[in-house]
Homo-oligomer: A and B are copies of this chain.
Amino acid sequence: MKKVINIETFKLFTDITGTVQNMARDWAKSGLVHIFSTHTTGCVRVLENEILSYADIRFWLDKYTPKDKPENRRYLHDLISLREDVDQDERINGFAHMRSLFFNTSETIPVAEGRIVLGKWQSIVFVELDPGDGEKVKTKDRELIVTFIEE
């Protein structure tokens, strides 16, 4: 069974556990659920949904993969004038590509008789690595593909 989750967010972390749980209940079987982001700067991660821990992660990312760099130290991905495959108004998101190395394109989670099996502190989280942060940005439509596999 395949399902789609559409997300439109400017937040770094979005808890999608409830949405996936509802799909699992409809499926009502046992096996695995696989949640896949169709984006390179939007990821899926099992995390503790705790705002202070999220702030720790954010500060770490800001330190080791800063968004803004001095002009002569820019992310090469952001040298738009060198790239033939993109428009002139392409997003400046080299930092977000770097950050994707610390998250995942997908997560796979056990399902037992229509219930996703998560530990007490675990949530399934969509991670928007290029979230805007108060800039005027184009609305982002993110799409996740959810696949259920029977055991």
Q: Which residues of A contact B (CB under 8 A)?
A: 1-2, 30-32, 34, 36-40, 45-48, 50, 52-53, 55-57, 59-60, 64-65, 75-77, 79, 82-83, 85, 94, 97-98, 100-110, 112, 117-122, 143, 145, 147-151
Cα distance, A130 to B42, chains bound together (Å): 28
Q: Which of B50, B107, B147 contacts A32 (CB 8 A)?
A: B147
Cα distance, A45 to B85, chains bound together (Å): 21
CB A140 to nearest CB in B, in angstroms, measures: 12
**A48 and B40 in contact, given A149-B32, A151-B2 (Cβ under 8 angstroms):** yes
With both beta carbons as reference points, the residue of chain B lying nearest to A142 in the complex is identified as: B119
Whether the pair A77, B53 counts as a contact (CB closer than 8 A) is yes
Whether the pair A76, B52 counts as a contact (CB closer than 8 A) is yes
Whether the pair B112, A40 counts as a contact (CB closer than 8 A) is no
Copies in the assembly, this chain:
3
The residues of B that contact A109 with a CB separation of less than 8 Å are 36, 106
Whether the pair B52, A122 counts as a contact (CB closer than 8 A) is no
Whether the pair B39, A121 counts as a contact (CB closer than 8 A) is yes
Whether the pair A119, B79 counts as a contact (CB closer than 8 A) is no
Whether the pair B119, A48 counts as a contact (CB closer than 8 A) is no
Whether the pair A75, B56 counts as a contact (CB closer than 8 A) is yes
Whether the pair A1, B145 counts as a contact (CB closer than 8 A) is no
Whether the pair A65, B75 counts as a contact (CB closer than 8 A) is no
26 A-B pairs within 8 Å (CB atoms) are namely A2-B30, A2-B110, A31-B149, A34-B110, A36-B117, A37-B119, A38-B119, A38-B120, A38-B122, A39-B121, A39-B122, A40-B48, A40-B119, A40-B122, A50-B77, A52-B75, A52-B76, A56-B75, A56-B77, A56-B94, A57-B98, A57-B101, A60-B101, A106-B108, A119-B143, A149-B149
